[in-house]
Amino acid sequence: MTEARMFDNTPRQGEIIKTRYRKITTPLPHPDTLGVLAALKAWEPVSMSGQPPIVWDRAQGFQVYDAAGNCWIDFSSGVLVANCGHNPPELKAALIDQIENGVIFSYCFPNRPRAELVTKLVKLAGGRIDRCFLLTTGGEAVENAIKLARTWGKATGGNSKRVIVSFEGAFHGRTLGAQLAGGIPALKDWIGMENTGFVTVPFPDEATGKNVHFADFLAALASRNIAEADVCGVIMESYQGGTGRFYPQPFMQELRRWADAHDALYIADEVQAGFGRTGRMFTFQHYDVEPDMICCGKGLSGGLPISAVLGNSRFMSLYKPGEMTSTHSGHPLCARAALTSLQLIEEKRLVENSRNMGLLLHEFLKKLRESNTGIISAVNGRGLLAAILFRRPTGEPDGEITMRVVDYCVRHGVMLYAPLGPGGGTVKINPPLVITEEPLREGLQVFADAVQASRILA
């Protein structure tokens, strides 16, 4: 287990802030919310306690509020969920309409929102995709993709064709299959199984120039005694969540060709990368490649729990009627939320806004890095996704300064989730895609102040 770093729950009065977009006038966390924090501490596993102790009371657009009326510019989107903005009126209206005039649950009995959503998602994905299976969480989508790839491998290549390849540093969820496919050894300690048919290979890292050639991928398989023909699937986050790193495009294109030649499925895990986050509808589109399968979640619905596996009928239809289902697959309320969120992303041109605001975001962070090279080792990402990597002079990730930066931001009206990535050295900025220039600049200035203040404290 990694060492826990916790935010302080003791209410503290800081600077009073009142701007057009931020308001912090009380001690934080607000004393009235201590009961909620205490109940969570008393009854939940400690694993749920890592975030800044602000009790979210309501959220609108790119802002989040507590019950005392303190207001934050949201740089978290929850956790890359509120792509279409928090609680847009259209989403609220669709949910109310569904509750008042439709079903709120139908198991696998057909419902209209489910039909509309699978149609919409298949068309949006294009390429090889002609089927969509709806689920509830990102982890579930990953589990299902792994199952389908292995089922496909067995059907086409027999029992030995069951190897799933993933990348070092990858995060695909916290369930069994998803963690077998994950590339963070500490997270899979609990599994304790050998010869599972999961193998991780080095990430092709453009920043260091290491393993960027496709030959390195093949060499890594060989050194792990994996026959290329035994690979049934390669799963990859379209950018690595822990560090915001992207893959080199030539690598991706060679991977696509190799996967076709070996009848292995290229699975794009778009759970956090999808729906406009990096300035394209799907992040794999930056690489100009067509995945065989796409896992979606988070930003798909703007807030309700729904995920999707998109793929092709040659493997999506291997299971017979009733054999691949889930109680809440195509849940009508969640499907309505997803349809509305997708409509908003298109109508409000949020993918374009992510691209444009992303230019501003990255220009700002590039300058910030240039004046802080001693502590910020890299700023990765595209569109409204930025991962800022903090390092100690020794080169190790600095998980302490990141805590101070996040704490400062939250206390000054900019909502960020806890640091993550190797050694907790990464802070991510990913506001709802509805953010506009003024609040983005204001929030970024707070971030720059936070870096300055955290260095002084160091």
Q: Minimum CB separation from ligand PMP for residue 142, in Å?
A: 5
> Which CA distances in Å does 376 have to 10, 23, 209, 388, 452?
29, 28, 19, 7, 12
- Name the E strands within 252-326: 265-269, 293-296, 307-311
For 8, 55, 227, 234, 281, the CA distances from 427, given in Å and listed in that order, are: 18, 21, 38, 28, 23
- Indicate the residue whose CB is closest to ligand PMP: 138
Buried b (16+ CB within 10 A) or exposed e, 21-47: bbbbebebbbeebbeeeeeeeeeeeee
E strand intervals along 329-411: 376-380, 386-390
Return residues touching ligand PMP (CB under 6 A).
Answer: 137-139, 142, 171-173, 237, 241, 269, 271-272, 297
Which residue's CB is nearer to ligand PMP, number 142 or number 444?
Answer: 142
What are phi and psi for residue 281, nearest 5 degrees? Answer: -60, -45
Cα 166 from Cα 129, distance rounded (Å): 21
CB-based contact 152:164 (threshold 8 Å): no
Beta bridge partners of 23: 18, 71
A 10 A CB-CB count for 269 gives 32
- Pairing of the two strands 231-237 and 163-167: parallel
Helix (H, G, I), strand (E, B) or coil at 51: coil
Instruction: Output the smallest distance, CB 145 to ligand PMP, in A.
Output: 10
CB 134 within 8 A of CB 311: no
Going by C-beta distance under 8 Å and a sequence separation of 6 or more, which residues neighbour residue 454?
A: 401, 404, 405, 408
The answer for 271, left when phi > 0, alpha when psi is -120 to 50, beta otherwise, is: alpha
In our burial notation (b when 16+ CB lie closer than 10 A, e otherwise), range 82-110 reads bbbbbebebbeebbeebeeeeeeebeeee
Comparison of 133 and 171: residue with beta carbon closer to ligand PMP? 171
Query: Cα–Cα distance between 173 and 194 in angstroms, integer?
Result: 20
Of the pair 295, 375, the CB lying nearest ligand PMP is at 295
Instruction: Tell me which amino acid residue 174 is.
Output: R
